[in-house]
Structures are given as C-alpha cells and as structure tokens.
Amino acid sequence: MKNGLFLIIGLAFIFGSLYLFLQKPAPVQRVKIGDKTFTVEVADTDIERAQGLSGRVIPEEGHGMLFVFPEPGLYGFWMKNMRFSIDIVWLDEEFKVIDIEQNVEPETFPQTFYPPIPIKYVVEVSSGEL
C-alpha cells in the first residue's frame, strides 16, 4: 500500500514536471509602429488576451504585447489590475495604425476603450514610448 502511494506521487511529480517543461513559451515578434520597432509578446488565445499585461511590472523599453484576434472586430480594453500606464495602438488586418489611445492610466478602470472601427490587432506598450 505504501509503495503504491509513493508510485502515484512519483508519477504525478514526473508528469507535472514534464507538463511544465513542454509548456509553449510565449511567442515573441517584432512590430514596427511609425519609426519605432517593438519586441512584443504575442497574446493569441482568449486566456492570454484576457490576462494581457495585467499584474505585471513595467516592461523594459521597446517591449510590449501584441493582441491577435481571430477576426476584425470592436474589441474593448480596460486597465483591470494594471500597474502602469500604457499606450494602446489599434491596427487593421494589414498592420496599419487605425488609432492610438495614449497614456491610459490604471485609475481609468472600469472604463473600457474601443477602436473607432473594427481592428484585427492591438499593441500595448508603456506610456510615452510612441
């Protein structure tokens, strides 16, 4: 009985470690906005898009997050659990800048920010980097 329990615990540990090892790392890309190029973490699942940069510390200069949506739409963004101000860049299917919401502060929550027309991508960077 005791050996069986140790076997189960050992297998759980092995499979848990294997699961963590095989987790996909966050994909990273480079996005050019105007004359600046940013290294961005890609958020392309519902869970990643919902989490966004919430709860994180300010990314280093030149870094941010690219939100990829399955189809163009009027996707809203808010500042829930954000620790720093951001600039929100709304992009169409060709990565053309549609609009920029600058200096969006954490204190604006629960206000939701929307693009003026349907978009396919959004880039968030620390406020003032654009």
Q: Which two tokens stand for residue 99?
A: 């609009």
Look up residue 123 and give its amino acid.
V
- The reply to whether 16 falls in a domain is no
Which single residue is written with the structure tokens 């105007």?
34
- The reply to whether 1 falls in a domain is no
Q: CA of 106: how far to CAs of 2, 19, 67, 130, in Å? A: 53, 34, 19, 18
Q: Which domain holds residue 95?
A: 25-126
H-helix segments, 34-120: 46-51
Per-residue pLDDT of 113-129, as tens digits, reads: 999 999 999 999 999 99
Per-residue pLDDT of 25-74, as tens digits, reads: 557 789 999 899 999 999 999 999 999 999 999 989 999 999 999 999 99
Domain count, the chain: 1
pTM of the shown model: 0.78
- The reply to whether 57 falls in a domain is yes
- The reply to whether 4 falls in a domain is no
Q: Where would I find the beta strands (DSSP E) of the chain?
A: 28-33, 36-43, 63-73, 86-91, 97-104, 119-126
Mean pLDDT computed over 66-87: 96
User: Residue 89 maps to which CATH number?
Assistant: 2.60.120.1140
